[in-house]
């Protein structure tokens, strides 16, 4: 066994150390250093987590809304006060720079804010005298034990898309974070404990496919929320649905940014840099393709190239913080870099080659610099597949319509953007484009917390999007109650075998 620290599970309000021996390495991506290992769940660990959550559910379900709300407010206060601590954990294990890690936490806090007002979303309806002497009202109740399977790229924000609403609604949670950067999940679990959340309401189960399948196949787990690649999202959806679970499985993306001739090209170039290279391109909402109308394509390409050359690449913990850090693992860095070869072999022109980068970092980190490809063929895998790294492709189009047709022909429908000063074109775009989240002169149109996040086509499996009103609907189920209190002074109605009708 390694002498490195071992990250345990968090089950029933405390650290849970498995009797199993399977672990996964956790690295500092900026240095390449193997810093610790994370426990991988056994069948026994999975059953222990599910049992803890199931045991805690009846009491948490019956806890008053006022008490639940007080705990969530306390969690919010603690997280707001100590978010810099969490940001450092994320940077050390994911590699994103500290400002980006802090931004991730800030966006997650939006959902915690929404959860603080949850009693409003749990209200039912009431109708008096739906029929003579008969009233109808509805109830919203929690599902029970719910599973969350989250990706490596946002180890704090993505879990916070789900668990604040699930907990507020009265459910108990098992979070299975990525084994690549697992410490943020344990930190959040300890914070819930400090906020006063009862043991067993929030549990963290580390692991690989064994842990995932354990949640998917358990008859106790009532729903699965997932964010990750499209093939896994489809597997999650199909497997969980077979056992009657509710599923919201958010998959991959290939997000386009259409730039029309009347756009402010300096603004468009700035936003292309932000959306293409922020968090080293490891975002499902990253812009990975710029559709540039031919008349402005040369100018836009030159402006983006100039801005790339000003970017600083390095260790996100450096005193002089760089603009972007490394990728999550060496294997992922090499996979992303392979798409540069694919594009070049397919006829694309490499404008800026990120493989030549010299980062400001010690050790052998997993760095790939910002890469810009021009004239990328739409038949190339570099165009059709999600790269998930700092590789930005330019595809030249003749017109607005050709750009929209290209977007709509793709398998994904997560996010897209148009840059224009023409309101008519923008209005047409938001109506005609077959994508779930749209930006108009906004490159990363992630909705604010009180709207819902989710795409179309192969970017979302299941009927419910993440957070917002749809999030509360996902984590509750409704009952309709029809009641009558007969007047003892009235004549009895007698027997009537007819179908109940409104009288």
pLDDT at 499: 73
Answer whether 99's CB lies under 8 Å from 56's CB: no
Query: 65-94 and 157-168 are packed helices; what angle lies between their axes, rounded to 10 degrees?
Result: 170
DSSP string, 341-388: HHHHHTT-EEEE-GGG---B-SS-------EEEES--TTSHHHHS---
pLDDT at 41: 97
Which residues touch 427 (CB under 8 Å, ≥6 apart)?
A: none
Which residues touch 240 (CB under 8 Å, ≥6 apart)?
A: 216, 224, 247, 249
Give, in order, the Cα–Cα distances in Å from 66 to each of 106, 302, 440: 25, 57, 40
* Helix (H) or strand (E) segment spanning residue 187: helix 183-195
| Residues assigned a catalytic role | 284
Beta-carbon neighbour count of residue 310 at 10 Å? 8
Report the C-alpha gap between 455 and 435 in whole angstroms: 6
Report helix, strand or coil for 301: helix
Strand order in the sheet with 9-11: 14-16, 9-11, 202-204, 172-176, 145-149, 221-227, 246-250, 460-461
Structure tokens at 392: 């930005």
Q: pLDDT digit of tens for each residue in the chain (503 aa)?
A: 468 999 999 999 999 998 889 999 999 999 999 999 999 999 999 999 999 999 999 999 999 999 999 999 999 999 999 999 999 999 999 999 999 999 999 999 999 999 999 999 999 999 999 999 999 999 999 999 999 999 999 999 999 999 999 999 999 999 999 999 999 999 999 999 999 999 999 999 999 999 999 999 999 999 999 999 999 999 999 999 999 999 999 999 999 999 999 999 999 999 999 999 999 999 999 999 999 999 999 999 999 999 999 999 999 999 888 999 999 999 999 999 999 999 999 999 999 999 989 999 988 899 999 999 999 999 999 999 999 999 999 999 999 999 999 999 999 999 999 999 999 999 999 999 999 999 999 999 999 999 999 999 999 999 899 999 999 999 999 999 999 998 877 777 778 777 777 66
* Helix (H) or strand (E) segment spanning residue 423: helix 423-432
Report the C-alpha gap between 444 and 227 in whole angstroms: 17
Domains in the chain: ranges and CATH: 6-251+459-480 (3.40.605.10), 255-440 (3.40.309.10)
Answer whether 222's CB lies under 8 Å from 245's CB: yes
The length of the chain is: 503
Report helix, strand or coil for 481: strand
Residue 173 main-chain phi, psi, to 5 deg: -125, 140
The distance from CA 211 to its chain's CA centroid, rounded to whole angstroms, is: 19
Give the number of C-alpha atoms closer than 13 A to the C-alpha of residue 3, restricted to the C-beta side. 0
Among 53, 389, 351, smallest CA distance to 221 is for 53
Largest CA distance in the chain: 91
Residue 49 main-chain phi, psi, to 5 deg: -65, -45
Q: Beta 33-39 vs 14-16: how paired, if at all?
A: unpaired
pLDDT at 301: 98
pLDDT at 498: 75
pTM for the full predicted model: 0.96
Q: Which residues on adjacent β-strands are paired with residue 373?
A: 350, 393
DSSP string, 219-273: SSEEEEEEES-HHHHHHHHHHHHHTT-EEEEE----EEEEE-TTS-HHHHHHHHH
Answer whether 366's CB lies under 8 Å from 341's CB: no
């Amino acid at each position: 066994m390694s002498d490195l620290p071992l990250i345990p599970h968090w089950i029933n309000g405390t650290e849970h150390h498995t009797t199993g021996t399977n672990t996964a390495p956790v690295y500092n991506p900026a240095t390449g250093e193997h810093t610790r290992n994370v426990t991988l769940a056994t069948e026994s660990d999975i059953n222990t987590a599910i049992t803890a959550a199931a045991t805690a559910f009846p009491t948490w379900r019956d806890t008053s809304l006022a008490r639940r709300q007080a705990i969530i407010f306390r969690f919010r206060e603690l997280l707001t006060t100590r978010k810099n601590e969490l940001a450092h954990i994320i940077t050390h294990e994911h590699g994103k720079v500290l400002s980006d890690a802090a931004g991730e936490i800030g966006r997650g806090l939006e959902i915690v804010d929404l959860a603080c007002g949850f009693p409003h979303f749990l209200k039912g309806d009431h109708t008096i005298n739906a029929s003579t002497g008969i009233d109808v009202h509805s109830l919203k109740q929690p599902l029970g034990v719910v599973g969350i399977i989250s990706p490596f790229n946002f180890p704090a924000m993505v879990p916070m898309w789900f668990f604040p609403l699930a907990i507020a609604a009265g459910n108990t949670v098992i979070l299975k974070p990525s084994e690549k950067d697992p410490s943020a999940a344990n930190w959040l679990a300890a914070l819930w404990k400090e906020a006063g959340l009862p043991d067993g309401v929030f549990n963290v189960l580390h692991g690989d496919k064994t842990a995932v399948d354990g949640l998917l196949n358990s008859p106790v787990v009532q729903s699965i929320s997932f964010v990750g690649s499209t093939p896994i999202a489809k597997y999650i959806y199909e497997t969980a649905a077979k056992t009657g679970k509710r599923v919201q499985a958010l998959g991959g993306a290939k997000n386009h940014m259409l730039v029309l001739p009347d756009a402010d090209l300096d603004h468009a170039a700035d936003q292309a840099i932000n959306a293409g290279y922020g968090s080293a391109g490891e975002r499902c909402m990253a812009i990975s393709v710029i559709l540039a109308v031919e008349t402005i394509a040369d100018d836009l390409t030159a402006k983006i190239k100039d801005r790339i050359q000003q970017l600083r690449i390095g260790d996100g913990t450096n005193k002089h913080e760089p603009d972007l850090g490394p990728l999550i693992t060496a294997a992922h860095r090499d996979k992303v870099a392979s798409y540069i070869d694919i594009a070049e072999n397919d006829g694309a022109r490499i404008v800026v080659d990120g493989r030549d980068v010299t980062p400001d970092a010690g050790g052998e980190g997993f760095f790939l610099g910002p890469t810009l490809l021009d004239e990328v063929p739409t038949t190339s895998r570099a165009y059709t597949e999600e790269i998930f790294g700092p590789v930005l492709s330019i595809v030249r189009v003749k017109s607005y319509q050709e750009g929209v047709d290209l977007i709509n022909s793709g398998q994904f429908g997560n996010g897209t953007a148009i840059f224009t000063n023409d309101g008519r074109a923008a209005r047409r775009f938001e109506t005609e484009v077959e994508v779930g989240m749209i930006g108009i002169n906004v490159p990363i149109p992630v909705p604010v917390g009180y709207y819902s996040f989710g795409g179309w086509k192969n970017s979302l499996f299941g009927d419910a999007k993440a957070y917002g009103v749809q999030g509360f609907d996902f984590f509750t189920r409704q009952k309709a109650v029809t009641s009558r209190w007969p007047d003892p002074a009235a004549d009895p109605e007698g027997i009537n075998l007819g179908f109940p009708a409104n009288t």
